[in-house]
Structure 1
Amino acid sequence: MTAGLVGTVTSYADGLLAALLAVGAGWGMYAVRQRRRATAAVRGRVRFELVPAETFDAAEQEIDWFAGQLASVPVAAGSIPRRAAGTRIRLTCADGLMRFRLEGPARAASLLRMPGYEQVEVHDAEQARASGPLRVRFEGAPPLPVRGGAQ
């Protein structure tokens, strides 16, 4: 029985090797294509800056709605690779100014541009950077000193 199995495998060895090579080449081409699609999608991401009003105080419903909005970004982005479909939230602080930025796929730009909170404006991040720093003052908290000792 073992001899018959070995004989059958050796008689089909050339065909099996060719099929294995074809599957490997197909998988390799698919992987290269997906990588190129992901690279193009990451290169074309959009960035928005959320600027709250001085009286901004988010309600729990607004927070839940905004989280649901961000969770639906990969669906709105369509058929792009999963690693390029995610949303990134960046909180940065420079010179005492905190910035809240959203970054996501260009295909979902309209969803990211929608204001998630009632008292928050959404600006294009490049325009916000060009217009200069945006100051937000919180009630009851003194402003941080600006570098160089000026207020």
Structure 2
Amino acid sequence: EMAGQVPMWEHIPLEVRGTEVYKSFVHGWAQIVRAIGVVVKPRSHSRREPALPTVENVSRELWERNYDQRYTSHFLSRGGKVEFALDALLYLAKDADEMFWSMEEDEDKEDDYRQQSRYEALPKHRLDDCWEFVRYKLLGPNGKVKKGPF
């Protein structure tokens, strides 16, 4: 099993990833995950602005930039979707946010205070913690894409 070895692997439904996995499928998944990162934070030499990682924006990145189309095509032809990686991203972001606020106090209260102060100093946005809205904007109506991990 690839879980634990490949980032966010458990967000690909079992019926898609199957029991026998080819390297090209794994590489296709990795390219999609990498493309999401580039859409959100373009490389410094790129003239592109950061964008929402919608299916359309990530797909455009995959097809217009320097990715190995054989891997992307193999992943998609086997039932893989950009949506699975976006679901994983949302899951991890929400989980990290919830984990930050639920952390127990540990022995180093000064370090906790510094970390909490830095977090609270981040700019506030009216959509903070509106995870279902963000999911809708990236993945469409509720139920269109099953929530992982699977």
Fold match by TM threshold 0.5: no
Tell me the TM-score normalised to structure 2 length. 0.20
Higher relative contact order (CA 8 A, sep 6+): 2
Tell me the TM-score normalised to structure 1 length. 0.20
Structure with the larger helix share: 2
Structure with the larger strand share: 1
